[in-house]
Structure 1
Amino acid sequence: MSAHQHDHETIRLRALILGIVLATAMCALTPYNNAYKQATPLGGGHFPLAPFFILVWLTVLTALAGRVFKRALFTGKELVIVWMLMFLVSGIAYTGLVRTFFINLTAPYHFATVGNAWKEVLHPILPRAWYPNDAEAVERLYNGLPDGRRMGWWTLVTHIPWRAWIGPLMVWGGFILLCYGVMICLVNLFSRQWIYNERMNFPLLRVPQLLADALDQGRTGAFFGNRFLAAGLFVPIFLHTVNGLNFYFPEVPQIPTLILAGPYFPQYGLFSGFHKLKIYIYPAFIGFAFLTTRQISFSFWFFFIAGGLIMGLLAVLGYNIPDAALGVTFGPTLTRPEETQMIGAYGVFFLFILWLSRYHLREIFQTAVGRRPAPTPVTEWFSIRTAFWGSVAGISGIILWCWIFRMPFMVSVLVVGAFFMVMLVASRVICQGGIAYFTLTVAPIDGLLALFGPKFFTQVGLLGSAVMQKVLFVDLRESLMPSLVHSSSLTQRTTNRRTIFLAMLITLLLAVTVSFVAMLALCYKFGARELQMDWTVQTTTTVYANVQRLIEAPPQNTDWVRLFAAAGAVVMLVLVLCYHRFPWWPIHPIGYLTTYSSAMRILWVSFFIGWLANSLCMRYGGVALFKQLRYFFIGLIIGDFLMGGTWAVIGLFGDASYQVLPD
């Protein structure tokens, strides 16, 4: 098959059906695997484990079947689309949606006590349609149904108190589908700009695409037999075989993959920001870093180091800013006032994205109002006009949804705008930076609180914003929008994009439905208390506790937060100007956005090693050496995920599971 034919391939129905079936099955199994078995997460991050594990084996089996039967059941491109449908929805079944969803909808009632006074402060302003009104249904969610453990799964599903849940699920289902619809429309609008105009790199797609090329060109055996790839495979296979055996049999020696470097730095002084430093070794992320452009991989670890030095420098200069100056915030990892630089940085980078897209956005508007014909060739899932007015209608629908539940109109507009602004920026960071594991530092409404204060929100607006944010817009480790951007790139060179898009919609609807049912069934069978969902409960109850604190005693002084937010805006403005004006500028602005992310605390060493290897390779060996050496780092990625999948399968049959990748 020629390169041109391969790039413009028709994806057959059999591949789409296989992808839908596998994606739905994964959503059904994920809550049981992750929450009950506590095994290796099947999803996790933006390069999820199970879909890639399945892709590798499907590629091998398809190649073997092709040799035996002289006819391939699937092409490489079709298997990549199967993989796409799986990773698209893998997060919905856990951290991307249902991990905290039902706890979020029951926490203010189930965890209300005399001590926290939620009954007096929060209950009068809770929108009743958001929450189940049956106290017994809520209690059994945490304790399980009587004889639930003895019931078969189908019998259990029929015994779930659906009457209590059908109302909240319909209300929140409308909100979720509106948000997903807006994300789809925004990706459809920006895809041409990012993929063609800016030629954005997608490091996380490189390995699956190389697997597809190898299969279509009949050289799958040569691909896996490459000596550099074999060397790369050996490293994680040996590492995780030894450490996996150590996990189950402690007498087997362990190879350390976590180094506590903090004790080597002083607690006070210039380097005090590193006194809790940890060094994690993840071969797969070293591989991703090598495949990422050097400018970006350098920026990630550079800004992580710079962020630690800034904290120490402020202490040396006598600015001992108390943590209390941070006030009440909702950021998942926000612990220091200095970290609120990201409020301004995200805002300026969002404006930079719009400025880069200014001509494209003008064309979109002119096309939407009928002043110019649609661009050709067509590269979007559906028409520009439909995407534009669909995004307008979707955002208006979400604002109307908020207004129906008594949130002030301007608060709704600003909150919804902040949600999608952060999602757009985070999607750019993940897809362009090749960050398979990404977390926000500050939450979307933290910036609005810093600018306007809690009184602007009103009590209902503050509560509603915090709850909506917790549902979809704060923990972005498995968020949908970056997966949609990746999907848009993968479907660009197919002849039946709209058929594939229809399969994506079917997969999304099935994934949401199946994930809700699977998590409810799991909770009512075993009880949420028995699922060891400590992180879920803690982060959810913290949201309601923070809302109560803001209602009862709103902080008066946010000067430090505003100062650092302004500083972040200035730094980002300088970065984007230098990046855009000077071709020699070595730093990419998106590195600054991850400075204080908990993801970078785990991955900074991986990006440093990947950047260093890439730089040395290009300096002393050039492109020829890079093309050879990249197979070693591809081997690191494939080997890490193969071992992760292998131990995940073993974990299904045991009481514990060895973790290969970060959770």
Structure 2
Amino acid sequence: MNRPLHKPYNGLTAKSLLIAVFIFPVNVFWIIQLEVVRYTHPTLVHPLSNVIFIVFWLVIVGYSLKIISPKIGLTPQEILTVYIMLCVVSSLCSHDMIEILVTLMGHPFRFATSENEWRALFWRQLPEWLVVNDEKVLKGYYEGASSLYVKENLTAWIIPSLWWITFIFVLLTVMLCINIILRIQWTERERLTYPIIQLALEVTDQKLTFFRNRLMWFGFALASLISILNLLNSIFPELPYIPVKRQSINQYFTSRPWNAMGGVRVAFYPFVIGISFLIPLDLLFSCWFFYWLYKTELMIGKIIGMSNLPRFPYANEQGFGAYIGLLVFTFWAGRSHFKNLLHHFSNLHHAKIEEGNDNNEPIPYRLAFLGIIIGLAFLTIFSYKIGMALWVIPIFFAIYFLLSIMIARLRAELGFLVHDLHRIDPHSMIITGVGTRRLDTGTLITFSVYMFFNRAYRAHPMPQQLEALKISSVQNINPKQVAISILVATFMGSIVTFWLLLDNYYRHGAESGYYGPWALGFGRQVYNQLAGWMNYQQDNDLLGMSFAGIGLGLTSALMILRARFLWWPLHPLGYAMANSWGMSNLWSCLLVVWLIKFLILRHGGLKLYRRAIPFFLGMALGDYIFGGTWSIGSILTNTTLYQFWP
């Protein structure tokens, strides 16, 4: 697929940059209120509801201004550039990124006691240039009624914050360079569909075709009606409630062996049903099928006594093996592209790769490759300075970036809304492979402080970057400007997030009760785990490694069957995600969508399917717009109104 012959449009203009910079702090403050103070988590599910909400109103304002004067209106390319930047900023200021990091920086010094022995175990090894250990400074942070802008407070936080901002910037720059190398293979050669960005593309379409579609408004109205009724129920409990949010059905599984399944929830989120309509039919089926196969596995394990094993059925290890298997097949499918790239790197005369040269990329391939090398060198030195053993560093980041690539692929090809991968992370897999006994204190401390970008991957920035490059291709936006906008958003978003989190904590106090449980919960979780690693050293887990091998083998078998038989209905990604947090909350939505989509394709074919897409995207948009409105109302009234997620 060649790029349009038309000269690329400017997306990063003075107008779009000013709008984005103005919205950054508003967006970050909104996320803090929703995720830290309350319990609505927009950054855990995609597309990001807060960003869609903002873009929706930008489209309305931009279109209104165009009517007055075309010169002062906003083009779709400018609005989408703002969308890209807000997605990056939201990923950074999220429940799975900097929200965690800030809470880790002072926690061990505030809550060390004689009982937990943190002072003796690891106080001295914590890098002073990355933490805050002044008791007076931490007193204001945790108790509130203070100010960040006192000299002592600013001085204590600025150095470690700047180091972490630099680390985050380099980490995301490496991701961007990898995405640039992968883009042409996945976007133009394999032509992956990128379902997650479709709602943003439809909303910003210059012809407003989406908003002129009646079916879209029917879907919008349906989701809006549900949201309004549930809002009224939250204010007047005697009014009816439509049960679309997750709820446990464990009360129906109390006897053996059914109770071995653990928690089972059902939900019927309108936005999940709407966006998931774009997910391929085989993956929809595979998701709920493998979810229940996993639950069946738990029951069978209970019946035959396998549940006596400490972590049977080692679902995280199986998942890790499955993701590695998927990556192997992904790289195998693109082997000719990667061979051409190697030739391109080694040719002194800038040889063209098979799909075309790199003039259409944000930066040349050689520069992207150099960026990866320099970035990895920085990450290596940074990790070594913290205390990670030199032999562990390449293994740690190899696992991290391989998982990052897999998540980006998952989003680009299949568009699954939630990708958490709890306990499928570098430190968990390394500990499974070698145990904690062979890891020194510095390595375990580095694992702990790196938990802020490895606890879960629901707001992972790498797929956001890849989707931005796809938007650039679809809308013919200058790719260099898109790359610059990503880097600007990364740098400024990190600064704004640190600033507003610290400002809010000093105003209200992290332990004052104003914030939700995770203001202290992240630090407690991370440092209790670190103390456990040090107090109760363990050897490698051969059984866990074996189950990772089983996951790799089963995934390979499923991929071979898919390649040999076109009718084969099971996608290995459903197997990989079977025990995930996202699947436990969304399996019932996917079952409903699978049934609807199956019936539509069976009786109406592709024509009816395409006609139905606006209805389902309208459902998602309606849920997002009204859900966003209620969340703003909660902030303005200092109450908790109906929260549409989770």
Q: Same fold (TM over 0.5)?
A: yes
Equivalent in 312, 315, 321 of residue 344 of structure 1: 321
Judged with a 3 Å threshold, the aligned counterparts in structure 2 of structure 1 residues 608 and 528 are, in CA distance, closer, same or farther, namely same
Residues 392-429 of structure 1: per-residue CA shift (max 9 Å, x gap): 22112211212223321111111121221222212222
Match of 2:248 in 1: 260
Alignment of 1:431-446 (within 5 A): 431-442=412-423, 443-446=425-428
> Aligned with 1:457: secondary structure?
coil
Q: For the Cα contact (< 8 Å) 1:184–1:484, is it kept in 2?
A: yes
How many Å apart are 1:69 and its aligned residue? 4.8
Name the stretch that deviates more: 8-17 or 130-139: 8-17
The offset of 1:374, in angstroms, is 4.2
Q: Pick from 280, 291, 315: which aligns with 2:302?
A: 315
Query: Is 1:619–2:596 an aligned residue pair?
Result: no
Equivalent in the alignment of 1:59 = 59
Q: Distance in 1 between matches of 2:249 and 2:32?
A: 36
Find the counterpart in structure 1 of residue 123 from structure 2.
123
Gaps of 5+ in 1: 149-155, 327-334
The answer to whether the 8 Å contact 1:30/1:94 transfers is no
Cα pair 2:8 2:478 within 8 Å, conserved: no
Q: Could you tell me how far 1:495 is from its partner in structure 2? A: 5.0
Q: 1:121 to 1:291 in 2, by over 3 A?
A: same
Assess, with a 3 A threshold, how the Cα gap between structure 1 residues 166 and 242 changes in structure 2: closer, same or farther: same
Asked if residue 157 in structure 1 is aligned to residue 135 in structure 2, the reply is no
Aligned-residue Cα RMSD (Å) equals 2.5
Residue 141 of structure 2 aligns with which residue? Answer: 141
Worse-matched range after superposition: 101-110 or 494-503: 494-503
Deviation at 1:190, TM superposition (A): 0.9
Q: Which shows bigger deviation, 303-312 or 556-565?
A: 556-565
Q: How far 1:356 sits from its partner (Å)?
A: 2.3
Of 393, 397, 403, the residue aligned with 1:416 is 397
**CA drift at 1:19:** 4.9
**Residue 58 of structure 1, CA deviation:** 2.4
TM-score, reference length from structure 1: 0.90
CA contact 1:441–1:598 (8 Å) conserved in 2: yes
Displacement of 1:346 in angstroms is 2.4
Range that drifts further, 42-51 or 137-146: 42-51
CA deviation map 1:347-378 (0-9, x unaligned): 22232232223222222222223355244353
CA drift of 1:501 comes to 2.0
The 2-side partners of 1:558 and 1:170 are apart by 38
Aligned to 1:108: 108
| 2:168 is aligned with 1:168 | no
The range that moved more, 431-440 or 523-532, is 431-440
TM-score for both structures, normalised by structure 2: 0.92
Q: Which amino acid aligns with 1:553?
A: Y
Distance 1:12 1:567, change over 3 A: closer
Q: CA contact under 8 A between 2:66 and 2:72: conserved in structure 1?
A: yes
Give the Cα separation in 1 of the matches to 2:324 and 2:584.
Answer: 23
The answer on 1:550 being equivalent to 2:533 is: yes
Q: C-alpha distance in 2, partners of 1:23/1:352?
A: 41
In the aligned structure 2, how far is the partner of 1:95 from the partner of 1:458?
Answer: 29
Distance verdict in 2 for CA 1:321–1:563, change over 3 Å: farther
Query: Superposed, which structure 2 residues align to 1:471-490 within 5 Å?
Result: 471-490=452-471
State the Cα distance separating 1:114 from its structure 2 match.
Answer: 0.7
Aligned to 2:173: 181
* Mapping of residues 491-640 of structure 1, within 5 Å: 491-493=472-474, 494-530=476-512, 531-556=514-539, 558-640=541-623
Identical counterparts, % of pairs = 22
Rounded to whole Å, the distance in 2 between the matches of 1:520 and 1:76 is 35
Structure 1 pair 486/12, CA: closer, same or farther in 2 (3 Å)?
Answer: closer
Distance 1:223 1:201 in 2: 19
Per the alignment, residue 380 of structure 1 pairs with 361
Partner of 1:429: 410
**Offset at 1:47?**
1.4
* 1:12, distance to aligned residue in structure 2 (A): 6.0
> Aligned-pair distance for 1:513?
0.7
2 CA distance for matches of 1:394 and 1:70? 43
Shift of 1:30: 3.2
Structure 1 residue 465: deviation in Å?
A: 1.9
CA displacement at 1:64 relative to structure 2: 4.1
Residue 336 (structure 1) shift: 6.5
Per the alignment, do residues 652 and 423 of structure 1 end up closer, same or farther by CA in structure 2, a change over 3 Å counting? same
> Which residue of the partner structure matches residue 374 of structure 2?
393
1:8 is displaced (CA, Å) by: 5.1
Looking at structure 2, the residues matched to 165 and 12 of structure 1 have their Cα atoms a distance apart, in angstroms, of 32
Cα shift at 1:578: 2.2
Preserved CA contact (<8 Å) 2:180 2:365: yes
SS at structure 1 position matched to 2:132: coil
Q: Distance in 2 between matches of 1:35 and 1:279?
A: 22
Match among 228, 231, 247 for residue 234 of structure 2: 247
Q: Deviations over 1:198-227 (max 9, x none)?
A: 2112111112222233xx22xx3x633433
Look up the SS of the partner of 1:438 in the other structure.
Answer: coil
Aligned partners of 2:406, 2:590: CA distance in 1, in Å?
20
Which stretch of the first structure deviates more once superposed, 367-376 or 244-253?
367-376
Q: 2:13 matched to 1:25?
A: no
Q: Tell me which amino acid in the other structure corresponds to 1:451.
A: G
Stretch deviating more after TM superposition (633-642 or 228-237): 228-237
Counterparts of 1:508 and 1:461, CA distance in 2: 27
**Runs of at least 5 residues in structure 2 that lack an aligned partner in the other structure:** none
Given that residues 19 and 86 in structure 1 are in contact (C-alpha distance below 8 angstroms), is that contact kept between their aligned partners in structure 2?
A: no
Report if the CA contact (8 A) 1:157-1:517 is conserved: no
Aligned match of 1:74: 74
- Residues 129-176 of structure 1: CA distance to partner in whole angstroms, max 9, x if unpaired? 221232211222111254x5xxxxxxx535561221223223323322
Instruction: Give the conservation status (yes or no) of the 8 Å contact 1:296–1:591.
Output: yes
Superimposed CA distance per residue, residues 439-469 of structure 1 (whole angstroms, 9 cap, x where no aligned partner): 113232111111111123212112212321x
Residue 642 of structure 1 deviates from its aligned partner by 1.0
Do the aligned partners of residues 529 and 658 (structure 1) sit closer, same or farther apart at CA in structure 2, a change above 3 Å counting?
A: same
Task: Tell me the amino acid that sits aligned with residue 11 of structure 1.
Answer: G
SS of 1:455's partner is: coil
Once structures 1 and 2 are overlaid, which stretch shifts more, 508-517 or 420-429?
Answer: 420-429
Q: Please give the alpha-carbon distance, in whole angstroms, between the structure 2 residues aligned to 1:207 and 1:7.
A: 25
In 2, Cα distance between equivalents of 1:157 and 1:431: 43
Contact 1:290/1:614 (<8 A) preserved: yes
